A and B are shown apart, each in its own frame.
Chain A
């Protein structure tokens, strides 16, 4: 077994840059994940509507979302590939010892991702020549492949949280690996569903947010209405579901990773009748500064009654638990996530009430203002959820079996800092360029819609949805499209 006497002071120099590099690349990649997982689904919903009702506006939206998806998926692929490299570049110790225990999840993910890449290519490039319904049906497995990919990743991550499916021999090496147990770990179910719904929710709110902004700027045509309503409805339906799933995930953490739960709720001593702190800061002597204290609530949330005993951070040696700063970070991340989630419930209720009473979207500007922010807020919760689970697990990379400091590469800290610098520059450039390209696409579409809005109102895009076209050269297409306005 690993010596539990490892002092925090003895952590290697390269630990900090390695963690920062992993954190930065993952934090960047995770912003694209909702769209990789859920944008195909939302696009297919719109596509189906367009085909079923012969709705040119819906088809136009689906096509434009496809164009965005083409760029976004590419950036998602490359930032994801970087993560696979980083397992080896930053955490060779973890992969070398545990790779054969939990790596299979990645195997599932790799194939699912492969399938996704193939199907998405067919979908994105099939608009022009494939038969409409053939094109649609070829893409239907896409969301399933995305779910499969998420399955693999979450299986691996939940294994790191609640590792099982092996036995340690005398030297501390894992033997008797049982793959089924290693994939379906106790945290897998709660984490998986919480994650999948979070992805759908986020993609829905972000896409709807784009059209909410358009609505606020006075573009109140059917195009904006449809572009808002379909993704927003998906997200609104899932918001209360996510609230329940998040709650059950937190309770699963309480049972399976008590120290992580103690960190996210900044519980210092094991006790009953534990109060809940909204925000606040944990000091290294166990006192809490600031924050809103609600007596008994933490025990009630964890076990439905005030007498529930909640394990505190001090139940394990200081070297085996997150530091006060880490606990505070996890706590804030958790509280921000819960706060935003609760506010989103109100937004979803507002929407539901309006449909129940008026059979229509809410009319007020404040609703659209909130809806426009909801997408960004959702991306924040995705980051927060990830910070909660990763920082809350510290100092372990494999919960209670391997420390992050034992997994880190031997590469000199200087090289890692240099690489972090390079990666930050490259990522800022790539993400900046990505945003610029997507915004530019939007501008081109808006100019076209404003220019042709009056002229082609009575002209459905009879020739556009499907069917071959002779011009394929990029230089030519730019000019032909100009003729529409």
Chain B
């Protein structure tokens, strides 16, 4: 049962990496979109593409936390004690990001929009880095039960590399999705704009992964071995295949499947990491079985999860379908009957 819950946790992390990651990536490109004039079109697209789905995308994170503390309370305690600072900063980043994005839209003054936009974009970079650094610290065995917070837990080679990989992967996902969104919204000039960026981001992922291979060999030995043999290796290869397929499709300008292949590559990578870490939740000090909460609770967690899938699944499908069909559009000023107030300059 604990094993099963551990896989649910990996799945939830994968879902957050894909759904949340796409949002972070959009924020990344918002940051690099340039000045107010040059960045107007990409930012417009980012705003429109993200708005209906970003809240749902980010709820995955709450679900990850809940499974952690309900299913593996000792692991939750250990991670949050050892990784205090990066997690605290990630939380602050989440606040600034969400607030920046939500407040930018109804603002009609350029100066204020810039501030909110900067808040949103910079924290879109910082938050995945810290979350990635936490994963890196866990994978390299720096978190044990009773470890107190230290800089080394997250400011080490593996953590930094995983953090950077997280940023690169989100940028890749974001660009691929924005590419399809540009097509959907009929903004054809932006299709190529994001296509190039998706390819660059994929290049960055590959480069970082190649650097990570020798660097993490000794630092995160257990996970390194897990990723280079057996099921872990198989999933990594599949992830690489999906990633390359995305690149090929992008190069051939056939955007119908790119979203699925890019999501698959990220999800498979997370899955490979989960595989490589078996049977540990904290390599190499705490196993899934040792960390597991009460058996009765785990059973109920499965039941609650099953009910939730039945309830949330269809709703999520409806949301994504309506969104991709272009049925979801935000209320405009004419819908709510608003006019310009003094000082508005947009």
Contact = CB atoms under 8 A, between A and B. Distances in A.
A113 B334 contact: no
Contacts of B106: 67, 70-71, 437, 440-441
Interface string A296-338: 0000000000000000000000000000000000000000000
A138 B39 CA distance: 35
Interface string B33-54: 0000000100010011001110
A50 B48 CA distance: 28
Nearest to A429: B99
A474 interface: yes
Interface string A84-115: 11111100110111111101101111110111
A409 interface: yes
Contacts of A419: 88
Contacts of A179: 296-297, 300
Interface string B82-108: 001101101110111111011101111
A121 B319 CA distance: 8
A54 interface: no
A120 B55 contact: yes
Interface stretch (A72-80, A230-238, A357-365, A379-387): A72-80
If over half of B's interface residues share one DSSP class (helix, strand or loop), that class is named, otherwise mixed; here it is: helix
A110 B12 CA distance: 12
A113 B62 contact: yes
Contacts of A77: 55, 58-59, 98
A446 to B, nearest CB: 9
Given A84-B62, A92-B77, A410-B148, A128 B329 contact: yes
B344 to A, nearest CB: 7
Contacts of A117: 55-56, 59
**Residue of A86, A110, A125, A437 with most partner-chain B CB within 10 A:** A110
A79 B329 contact: no
Nearest to A480: B334
Interface stretch (B64-72, B256-264, B275-283): B64-72
Interface stretch (A170-178, A247-255, A264-272): A170-178
A484 B65 CA distance: 48
B56 A121 contact: yes
A13 B113 CA distance: 41
A472 B333 contact: no
B316 interface: yes
B234 interface: no
Contacts of B319: 118, 121-122
Contact of B61 (A81, A99, A411): A81
Interface in A461-485: 461, 464, 469, 471-475, 477-478, 480-482, 484-485
If over half of A's interface residues share one DSSP class (helix, strand or loop), that class is named, otherwise mixed; here it is: helix
B73 interface: yes
A222 interface: no
Contacts of B240: none
A103 B66 CA distance: 7
Nearest to A121: B52
A478 B94 CA distance: 30
A86 B294 CA distance: 23
A99 B84 CA distance: 18
Contacts of A136: none
A65 to B, nearest CB: 9
B318 to A, nearest CB: 7
Contact of A71 (B40, B103, B328): B103
B66 A125 contact: no
A111 B301 CA distance: 11
Given A85-B88, A177-B297, A426-B95, A93 B77 contact: yes
Contacts of A444: 333, 338-341, 344
A464 B335 contact: yes
Given A118-B56, A449-B337, A104 B301 contact: yes
Given A60-B336, A74-B102, A88-B80, A95 B73 contact: yes
A103 B107 contact: no
Given A126-B328, A437-B106, A437-B107, A103 B73 contact: yes
Interface stretch (B23-31, B157-165, B220-228, B305-313): B305-313
Range of interface residues on chain A? Answer: 35 or more
A226 interface: no
B85 A415 contact: yes
A318 B240 CA distance: 63
Nearest to B332: A477
B338 A110 contact: no
A439 to B, nearest CB: 10
**Residue of B60, B71, B101 with most partner-chain A CB within 10 A:** B71
Contact of A104 (B61, B108, B297, B331): B297
B92 A426 contact: yes
A433 interface: yes
Contacts of B56: 114, 117-118, 121
A474 B339 contact: no
Contact of B73 (A82, A85, A97, A475): A97
A455 interface: no
B102 A75 contact: yes
Contacts of B88: 85, 89, 419
Nearest to B51: A125
A121 B338 contact: no
A127 interface: yes
A422 interface: yes
A437 B85 CA distance: 31
B91 A96 contact: no
Contact of A111 (B297, B304, B328): B304
Contacts of A177: 293-294, 296-297
7 contacts: A77-B55, A79-B95, A82-B91, A95-B80, A99-B73, A107-B66, A474-B44
Given A80-B62, A100-B70, A124-B331, 18 more contacts: A63-B331, A63-B336, A81-B58, A88-B69, A89-B87, A93-B77, A101-B297, A115-B311, A128-B330, A175-B294, A177-B294, A430-B103, A433-B99, A434-B103, A472-B185, A478-B333, A480-B334, A484-B334
Return the 6 tightest CB-CB contacts between A and B, nearest first. A100-B293, A96-B77, A88-B80, A99-B73, A103-B70, A74-B102
Interface of A: 60, 63-64, 66-67, 70-71, 73-75, 77-82, 84-89, 92-93, 95-101, 103-104, 106-111, 113-115, 117-122, 124-130, 138, 166, 174-179, 409-411, 415, 419, 422-423, 426-427, 430, 433-434, 437, 440-441, 443-445, 447-449, 451-452, 461, 464, 469, 471-475, 477-478, 480-482, 484-485
